Amino acid sequence: MDLQAGAAGWGLAAVRTGLFIDGEWQSGDGSISVVNPADGAVLAEVANGTPHHARLALDAAVRAQEAWGRMAPRARANLMHAAHRLMLEREDIIARTMTLESGKPLTESRAEFLLSADFLLWFAEQVAHLHGSYATSSQGGCRVVVAQQPVGPSLLITPWNFPLLMIVRKAGAALAAGCTTIIKTAQETPLTGALFTEILEEVGFPRGVVNLIHTNSSAPISDFLLRDPRLRKVSFTGSTRVGSQLLALGAENIVNCSMELGGDGPFVVLDDADVDLAVEQAIICKFRNAGQACVAANRIIVDRKVEGDFTERFVAKVKALTVGNGLDPVDVGPMISARQRDRLYDTLADLTRAGGEVLTGGRAIQRPGFFFEPTVVRFDGPNAVICNNELFAPIATIFGVDGVDEALDFANNSRYGLASYVFTRDLTRAVAFGERLEFGMVGINRGIMADPAAPFGGTKASGIGREAGHHGIYEFLEQKYMALTVGDLGVPA
Ligand code: NAD
């Protein structure tokens, strides 16, 4: 079932299209077509997994858990370092594959690739540095010994919008912590996950430690796995709707859950901001990945004193964005699917009905593939029309506000709490504003934040837990407390 990509005209090497279970590439039950969103052509057929395959993967992950969790940290780290080295050799094929199946411009795929490699390295570096502790109990006579132990077999469910980064950020932490894994790719972008899994296989991860499942029907698989008490962890990135369903399912067996969910990023430009910088960063923050990012600027909130200036320069830059096939040197690629593109007509109707004025764009682009024009909609003042709704599209909304208080109130008017942004030249103001933003992450004078050293995650409906940073690995570890009786020369106290 392997796809000879060269034969399919990609000019790339072969990509595995099976499921990877217990160290073997296997066929599934039927197949899933992977479509290039830039032209609608079918790129490959990958194996479709069912609960039967999920059970085989869990069996394998459970069998492998004990040995993997007990392997010397240095040995685990060595495997991860080897994976990092091999990954760096495969930048071209991975980046091109990401562009082909997700549509994002090749420059963005390369940036995602390099960031993902850096995340893998970050986790590899942490494996041998996990600390326990040893303390005297408050009553004396006993010692409190605390060790870190892997949570156990983990299900990692990932979305299509960052097909490599989301997998590496989860699998890197899980593997470093000593957990065995079942990686569930998004059905739109399974090939990137397959390329990453192949790297782990090639460098010698023991069988069962890494399992990979693609499926066109996710719910039965997660239902099955979360009801099996042998699964100890689910780490999910995706919509708040599905995250909430998984939390409910996980409640039955009290499964350890980490959730990276939706966002409604307010991007605030205060009256003393460097407007050129704010415009440049707003373009990246909004139009990267055609706006299909959880941390994208959803609401651009601009103090009226600089709103005219900001809007004029922003719209000029949006009009200059080039849109097309991500393999060509373009700024913006397609939406992931026809359905995602077509829903934007309803979105725009909602925005204009609520008083928004379309300053540029507003239509699908008539060519093969799922393209939509980079669009700007301006509102005269704060408007709750998209508070709580992710646009997830190349549509920017601008809201004029009067002063810091109105900006802050409107920014916080959301059920979400993932990424937020503030632009000001005054550091004291930036810190005071940032502290009052009810979001897990605040970009100060920058529109991009993901970094291996940073705890990525949100508050409120944006999720539970953090990925990466110094604490991300602890999402896959549990503390084991051992009470140690001590006495005088072996006589218990
Ligand atoms: P989605 O929730 O539909 O899908 C995400 C993943 O869950 C996919 O693998 C999908 O196949 C799977 N899935 C769908 N239904 C499921 C079910 N019932 N049970 C188990 N798995 C299921 O989200 P999407 O549309 O693919 O991705 C976009 C969403 O992801 C946006 O809301 C975005 O904000 C969010 N996201 C969040 C982060 C973050 O780190 N917070 C990062 C990227 C994307």
155 and 55 in a single domain? The answer is yes
Please tell me the predicted confidence (pLDDT) of residue 486. 87
Q: Is residue 467 part of a domain?
A: no
Query: Tokens standing for 306?
Result: 């600089």
Which of 261, 294, 319 corresponds to the end of one domain? 261
Q: Is residue 359 part of a domain?
A: yes
Please tell me the predicted confidence (pLDDT) of residue 139. 87
CA of 404 from ligand 1 middle (Å) equals 34
Q: Spell out the long-range contacts of 84-93 with Cβ–Cβ below 8 A and sequence spacing 24 or more.
A: 84/117, 84/120, 84/121, 84/124, 86/199, 86/202, 86/203, 87/116, 87/117, 87/120, 87/196, 87/199, 88/117, 90/195, 90/199, 93/12, 93/13, 93/15, 93/195
What is the phi/psi pair of residue 132, to 5°? -110, -165
252 and 401 in a single domain? The answer is no
- Work out which ligand 1 atom sits closest to the CA atom of 158: 9
CA 248 to chain centre: 21
Catalytic residue numbers, as ranges: 260, 294
Cα–Cα distance between 493 and 490 in angstroms, integer?
Answer: 9
Nearest residue (CA) to ligand 1, atom 17: 219
Helix axes 106-126, 165-177, angle to 10 degrees: 10
132 and 81 in a single domain? The answer is yes
Counting every residue, how long is the chain? 493
The CATH number covering residue 286 comes to: 3.40.309.10
Please tell me the predicted confidence (pLDDT) of residue 493. 53
What's the chain's Rg over C-alpha atoms?
24
Residues β-bridged to residue 147: 480
Which of 222, 237, 261 corresponds to the end of one domain? 261
- Work out which ligand 1 atom sits closest to the CA atom of 463: 41
Domain containing 113: what range?
Answer: 2-261
294 and 197 in a single domain? The answer is no
Query: Tokens standing for 316?
Result: 């000029």
Q: How many domains does the chain have?
A: 2
What is the phi/psi pair of residue 315, to 5°? -65, -40
> Could you identify the residue written with the tokens 């000019």?
11
Buried b (16+ CB within 10 A) or exposed e, 323-333: bbbbbeebbbb
In tens digits, what is the pLDDT along the chain, a chain of 493 residues?
A: 344 443 344 544 479 999 999 999 999 999 999 999 999 999 999 999 999 999 999 999 999 999 999 999 999 999 999 999 999 999 999 999 999 999 999 999 999 999 999 999 999 999 999 989 999 999 888 999 999 999 999 999 999 999 999 999 999 999 999 999 999 999 999 999 999 999 999 999 999 999 999 999 999 999 999 999 999 999 999 999 999 999 999 999 999 999 999 999 999 999 999 999 999 999 999 999 999 999 999 999 999 999 999 999 999 999 999 999 999 999 999 999 999 999 999 999 999 999 999 999 999 999 999 999 999 999 999 999 999 899 999 999 999 999 999 999 999 999 999 999 999 999 999 999 999 999 999 999 999 999 999 999 999 999 999 999 988 999 999 999 999 998 777 555 5
Nearest residue (CA) to ligand 1, atom 10: 186
328 and 254 in a single domain? The answer is no
104 and 248 in a single domain? The answer is yes
Residues β-bridged to residue 401: 303
Cα–Cα distance between 418 and 461 in angstroms, integer?
Answer: 8
Q: Decide: 233 and 256 in contact? Cβ < 8 Å.
A: yes
Nearest residue (CA) to ligand 1, atom 42: 294
CA of 284 from ligand 1 middle (Å) equals 22
45 and 187 in a single domain? The answer is yes
Q: Is residue 456 part of a domain?
A: no
379 and 394 in a single domain? The answer is yes
What's the pTM? Answer: 0.96
242 and 343 in a single domain? The answer is no
- Work out which ligand 1 atom sits closest to the CA atom of 215: 11
Q: Is residue 464 part of a domain?
A: no
Kindly list the protein residues whose Cβ atom lies closer than 6 A to any atom of ligand 1: 157-162, 184, 186-187, 218-219, 222, 237-239, 242, 245, 260-263, 294, 390, 418, 458, 463
406 and 342 in a single domain? The answer is yes
The residue type of 481 is Y
CA of 337 from ligand 1 middle (Å) equals 15
Nearest residue (CA) to ligand 1, atom 11: 186
Q: Is residue 466 part of a domain?
A: no
The CATH number covering residue 179 comes to: 3.40.605.10
271 and 149 in a single domain? The answer is no
57 and 73 in a single domain? The answer is yes
In whole angstroms, how far apart are CA 461 and each of 212, 262, 389, 440, 468?
A: 28, 7, 11, 11, 20
